[in-house]
């Protein structure tokens, strides 16, 4: 019996370890990326199958490595975030059929709010943001405040410029940018006010204290701002300090804060804007290009490179693990150990019955 008692103590400890293992898991990070559109032949007719669907990925926040989950069913998804209370995942995208129609001299397609199934990546349209492609603006990033309000950064553009799929470079300059809110039930976008900035790409992300951070790069200097959540006005906090090898053109396409640790993570797209200038290339050393997962220190503006990530990643979002932990749940191992404990208890009970009955 002493051996059985010791065994139960060990199992109990393992059970507690299994039940709490969920709390010790690394944060879950997700992202979206749209493959580059392949060039068409002169006699080729554009079809929906030729429009690249945005792909949904899980991302290792410690290395930046991305793992494909599945296609969303929409294209040009530019932003992503989880609703705090429900952990529903939202993205801003464009319909495949609208892009086909637009590229065949039809009317520009609308921008829509989409709900994403985390297990498959499949997107379900919620509603239109009342934006017509790049004709009236482009949502560069979204972020939920802790009360469930969904904020959006909108880049307002001049005329009908289009986005080059292979370089993330806009053909005409941005006029001015806005901060807005999106109704998660209808998709309706309401503009709050101008940020006072005219950058091409901007990322936004809420801190644990519900401060709305905003990062931008004007081609020469990266900056971190705080956005006023009523007027949209940007207040400069500090300049961003890129690692030496990122001396080309840098764009932070998306940001999100991992709540338990408070790390402000982002996706950095860097291109060697001076690679054609041989004279400059002789003195500046090696310049890296590509998409990288980074950590931003809001206090100093310092940027740490975590690792290279999936090409064309446009947005990232952390799953709210704190919300998940509010629901008591056992891990896989915890359930197995629980079963073993009940089985052991049943054996002991039957054995005692046998002893008492003299069998």
Bridge partners (DSSP) of residue 168 are none
pTM of the model: 0.76
- 144 compared with 45, residue with greater pLDDT: 144
Strands (E), 244-332: 249-258, 263-271, 290-296, 303-308, 313-318
Question: How confident is the model over 69-87, as a mean pLDDT?
Answer: 95
In angstroms, the first-to-last Cα distance of the chain is 18
Give the pLDDT confidence score for residue 165 in this predicted structure.
Answer: 35
The answer, yes or no, to whether residue 169 has pLDDT greater than 70, is: no
From the list 129, 125, 128, the residue with the least C-alpha distance to 117 is: 125
CA distance 157 to 113: 20
CA distance 226 to 264: 14
The answer, yes or no, to whether residue 120 has pLDDT greater than 90, is: yes
Bridge partners (DSSP) of residue 330 are none
Strands (E), 95-200: 110-116, 123-132, 138-144, 150-157, 174-182, 189-194
Give the pLDDT confidence score for residue 45 in this predicted structure.
Answer: 67
Indicate the domain borders of the chain: 1-22+330-359, 28-36+50-318
From the list 186, 172, 82, the residue with the least C-alpha distance to 128 is: 186
Percent over 70 (pLDDT), the chain: 65
From the list 201, 252, 194, the residue with the least C-alpha distance to 228 is: 194
Count CB atoms within 10 A of the CB of residue 342: 10
Task: Answer yes or no: are the C-beta atoms of 293 and 65 closer than 8 Å.
Answer: no
Which CATH number is correct for 28-36+50-318, 1.10.3720.10, 2.120.10.30, 3.90.1150.10, 1.10.287.610?
2.120.10.30
CA distance 80 to 58: 13
In Å, the largest CA–CA distance within the chain is: 97
215-261 pLDDT tens trace: 987 666 789 999 999 999 999 999 999 998 887 788 899 999 875 66
Residue 180 token pair: 């807005």
Task: Answer yes or no: are the C-beta atoms of 195 and 213 closer than 8 Å.
Answer: no
- 227 compared with 345, residue with greater pLDDT: 227
Which of 6-20, 169-183, 259-273, 275-289 comes out lowest in average pLDDT? 6-20
Give the pLDDT confidence score for residue 286 in this predicted structure.
Answer: 66
């Amino acid at each position: 019996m002493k051996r059985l008692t010791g065994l139960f103590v060990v199992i109990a400890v393992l059970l507690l370890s299994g039940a709490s293992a969920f709390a010790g898991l690394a944060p879950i990070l997700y992202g979206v990326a749209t493959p580059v559109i392949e060039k068409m032949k002169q006699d080729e007719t554009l079809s929906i199958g030729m429009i690249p669907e945005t792909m949904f990925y899980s991302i290792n926040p410690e290395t930046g490595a991305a793992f494909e989950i599945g296609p969303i069913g929409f294209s040009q998804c530019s932003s992503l975030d989880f609703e705090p209370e429900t952990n529903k995942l939202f993205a801003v995208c464009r319909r495949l059929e609208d892009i086909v129609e637009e590229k065949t001299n039809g009317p520009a397609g609308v921008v829509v709010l989409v709900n994403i199934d985390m297990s498959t990546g499949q997107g379900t349209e919620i509603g239109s943001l009342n934006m017509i492609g790049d004709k009236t603006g482009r949502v560069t990033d979204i972020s939920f405040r802790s009360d469930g309000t969904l904020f959006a950064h909108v880049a307002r553009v001049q005329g009908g410029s289009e986005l080059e799929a292979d370089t993330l470079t806009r053909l005409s300059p941005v006029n001015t940018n806005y901060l807005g809110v999106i109704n998660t039930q209808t998709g309706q976008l309401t503009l709050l006010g101008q940020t006072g900035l005219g950058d091409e790409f901007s990322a936004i992300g809420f801190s644990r204290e519900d401060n709305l951070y905003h990062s931008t790069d004007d081609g020469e200097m990266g900056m971190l701002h705080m956005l006023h959540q009523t007027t949209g006005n940007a207040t400069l906090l500090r300049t961003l300090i890129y690692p030496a090898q990122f001396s080309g053109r840098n764009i932070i396409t998306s940001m999100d804060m991992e709540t338990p640790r408070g790390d402000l993570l982002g996706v950095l797209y860097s291109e060697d804007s001076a690679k054609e200038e041989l004279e400059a290339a002789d003195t500046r050393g090696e310049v890296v290009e590509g998409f990288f997962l980074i950590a931003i220190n809001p206090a100093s503006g310092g940027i740490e490179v975590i690792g290279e990530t999936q090409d064309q990643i446009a947005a990232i979002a952390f799953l709210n693990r704190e919300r998940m932990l509010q629901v008591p749940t056992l891990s896989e191992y915890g359930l197995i150990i629980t079963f073993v404990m009940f089985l052991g208890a049943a054996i002991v009970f039957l054995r005692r019955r046998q002893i008492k009955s003299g069998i």
